[in-house]
Structure 1
Amino acid sequence: MELNGTRVYVENLGCAKNQVDAEVMLHALVQAGCVAVETADGADVVLVNTCGFIEPARKESIDTFFALREQYPAAKVVLTGCLSQRYGKELDQELVEADGIFGNRDLRRIVPFVRRLLQSARPVEFPT
């Protein structure tokens, strides 16, 4: 599946490492033909780059996901980041509203992950 013109927005939560991870993922997606957008308005894919370090950060991540899911029902809204990596199995079972779950262990996998996502799959990837 071609990604040319697919609009991607990243909502980044958490630490400086998350910011770097977000930039790495976005760069890879842009190299594959996606277009980075500054807001979720009109985005085809919304990556919620989560933090799972402390309970308030986990809550903020989930709350942000639900807010974006509700506000942008036409977009594919995906949980990424350390919350997804650490609690991927639980999120997969309990957060069926997510269009996909992508951990942060192997960021190079984001391009094939988004390709699967756009083929109407519900990809879940949190490598150990």
Structure 2
Amino acid sequence: MAPTDDATLSHMTIVTSGSDLVIEQITKQLNKLVDVVRLIDLTDGAHIEREMLLAKVALTKLPLNDLKVLVELFNGCIIDICQSSCTVEITGTGERLDAFVEACGRTQISELVRSGVSGITRGT
């Protein structure tokens, strides 16, 4: 749930998959809810999707300077530095986040949290 310009409303993004029939049924069920003001299906329209990743990366095999270069390459930021690990924030497509995890090496990541997809329509 995210706040909106109207303090009485919140914004929620739900990501699901299924056949057209399943998506239609989900849409109908959501629209029956009293609290739903408007539902927008982004499936066929022009839209942007992003996801956020927080990862605790061990500094045992990956030196801090190498991690800084890698994080910069992925347009991320280091948000916490400890003696043996760093916490990194990366935002992008799911594929981009997967690529970051692979570039770090799965054994170097001791903890990983992903937000799930958020989406918005393109244009005005």
Shorter-chain TM-score category? under 0.3
After TM superposition, the score normalised by the length of structure 2 is: 0.23
Greater strand fraction, Structure 1 or Structure 2 = 2
After TM superposition, the score normalised by the length of structure 1 is: 0.22
Bigger relative contact order, structure 1 or 2 (CA pairs below 8 A, ≥6 apart): 2
Greater helix fraction, Structure 1 or Structure 2 = 1
